[in-house]
Structure 1
Amino acid sequence: MNYIYNISNHPKRSEIEKRLEIIKFFDKFGQEATKQAFNKSRSTIFLWKQKIKQSGGKLSSLSPASKAPRTRAKRVQTEETIQFIKNYRLIHPGSDKVTIKPLLDNYCTKIGITTLSESTIGRVIRTLKDKGQIPDYYIRTTINGKTGKLLFRKIGKHKIKKMRSKGYCPKNPGDLVQIDAISFFKNGIKRYCLCALDVTSRFAFAYLYNTLSSTSAKNFVERLEEVAPFGIRAIQTDNGSEFHKYFDKYLKERNIIHYWNYPKYPKGNAFIERFNGVIQRQYIGWHIGEIDDTDTFNKGLMQYLIWYNTEKVHRGIGKQPPLRYIINTFMSSQKSNMLWTVTFP
Structure 2
Amino acid sequence: WRKRQTVEDRKTGPKEPSSTVLSEDEEAMVVAFRRHTLLPLDDCLYALQPSIPHLTRSSLHRCLQRHDISRLPDMDGDKPKRQRFKRYPIGYFHLDIAEVRTEEGKLHLFVAIDRTSKFAVAQLVEKANRKTAWEFLEHLLEAVPYRIHTILTDNGIQFAE
- TM-score tier (shorter): 0.3 to 0.5
Report the TM-score when normalising by structure 2: 0.44
Report the TM-score when normalising by structure 1: 0.21
Higher strand share: 2
**Which protein is bigger by CA-based radius of gyration?**
1
Higher helix share: 1
